[in-house]
């Protein structure tokens, strides 16, 4: 190690010892840096490791950092074992943060929605602070079988109908966002998801369009999950609408045919019952007329099946 680096380490260590304090340095979002910047930061940290009364807490995506190590040493023929050893020497106490469970995802969505309602003046700050205290307590007791269920949420909003619908939305969305591989119950993505849904709702309001938030949320989840599936659903929807329109036009046509049939059937009845009237019809013309009426009768009978 260079002499000036060692001198800095000794000086820092003596200062911390004299002040009787522990220096903790937090490095967050390292995985948002470019690969070279991330590795250079880790290499800089290595120069200050193992100083008494000091610690580094590094928050980063494990897979990204491993990929950055491979990029940094590209061409050196490194293997997966080298990447693992690099981490073992640098990180002494690894802590993997688990993904949110269904209960936690539901609690997070509920608090996000209630915070919006509080800021809008539809939910009191006292009740929101109450929710901030009882929901974490509920989560702490989840190992006892306590869950954030509908009854608990309704009591939380004092059974106000408008807020009850939001609680239903939180329950439904939590299950979808928890199971979706595109979201994977990631808190950052979940918050951005809600922001996008409510932004679309706000943009539609000046145009006089009222959107169903629950339906809009499901549609946005579909957009995020797979664009190909969304396009296919749109194609199917358009085809269904096209076929439905053609079927509607056919029904209107058949209704007109039925009206014509009823009119002609009435005429034939009058002609066949009036002896003087029948004499003005030639047998050949009357036979064709009867055939037309019978054909229309068959068409209308199909309509009633």
User: Mean pLDDT by 10-residue block, N- to C-terminus, for the chain (305 residues)?
Assistant: 84 92 91 86 86 89 83 70 77 86 93 93 92 92 86 90 90 86 86 92 88 84 67 67 71 64 60 50 55 58 49
Domain assignment present for residue 236? The answer is: no
Tokens of 165: 């619908």
Domain assignment present for residue 238? The answer is: no
Q: Residue 228's pLDDT is what?
A: 55
Q: Residue 124's pLDDT is what?
A: 92
Q: Residue 281's pLDDT is what?
A: 47
pTM: 0.63
Residues 191 and 78 in one domain: no
Q: Residue 298's pLDDT is what?
A: 55
Domain assignment present for residue 234? The answer is: no
Q: Residue 107's pLDDT is what?
A: 94
Residues 6 or more apart whose Cβ sits within 8 Å of residue 89: none
Domain assignment present for residue 257? The answer is: yes
Residues 62 and 114 in one domain: no
């Amino acid at each position: 190690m260079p002499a000036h680096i060692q001198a800095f380490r000794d000086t820092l260590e003596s200062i911390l010892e004299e002040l009787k304090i522990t220096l903790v340095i937090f490095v967050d979002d390292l995985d948002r840096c470019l690969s070279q910047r991330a590795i250079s930061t880790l290499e800089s940290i290595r120069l200050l490791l193992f100083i008494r009364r000091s610690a580094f807490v590094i928050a980063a995506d494990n897979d990204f950092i491993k990929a950055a190590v491979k990029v940094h040493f590209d061409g050196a023929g490194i293997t997966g074992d080298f990447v693992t050893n690099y981490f073992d020497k640098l990180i002494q106490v690894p802590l993997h943060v688990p993904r949110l469970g269904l209960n936690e995802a539901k609690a997070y969505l509920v608090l996000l929605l209630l915070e919006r309602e509080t800021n809008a003046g539809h939910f009191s700050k006292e009740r929101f602070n109450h929710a901030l205290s009882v929901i974490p307590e509920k989560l702490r007791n989840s190992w006892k079988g306590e869950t954030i269920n509908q009854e608990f949420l309704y009591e939380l909003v004092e059974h106000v109908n408008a807020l009850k619908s939001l609680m239903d939305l939180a329950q439904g969305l939590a299950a979808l966002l928890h199971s979706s591989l595109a979201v994977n119950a990631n808190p950052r993505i979940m918050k951005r998801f809600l922001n996008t849904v409510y932004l679309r709702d706000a943009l539609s309001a000046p145009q006089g369009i009222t959107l169903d938030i629950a339906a809009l949320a499901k549609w946005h989840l579909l957009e995020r999950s797979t664009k190909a599936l969304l396009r296919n659903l749109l194609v199917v929807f358009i085809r269904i609408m096209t076929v439905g329109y053609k079927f509607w036009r056919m029904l209107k046509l058949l209704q007109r045919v039925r009206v014509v049939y009823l009119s002609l059937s009435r005429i034939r009845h009058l002609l066949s019952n009036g002896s003087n009237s029948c004499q003005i019809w030639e047998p050949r013309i009357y036979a064709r007329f009867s055939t037309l009426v019978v054909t229309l009768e068959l068409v209308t009978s199909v309509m009633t099946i």
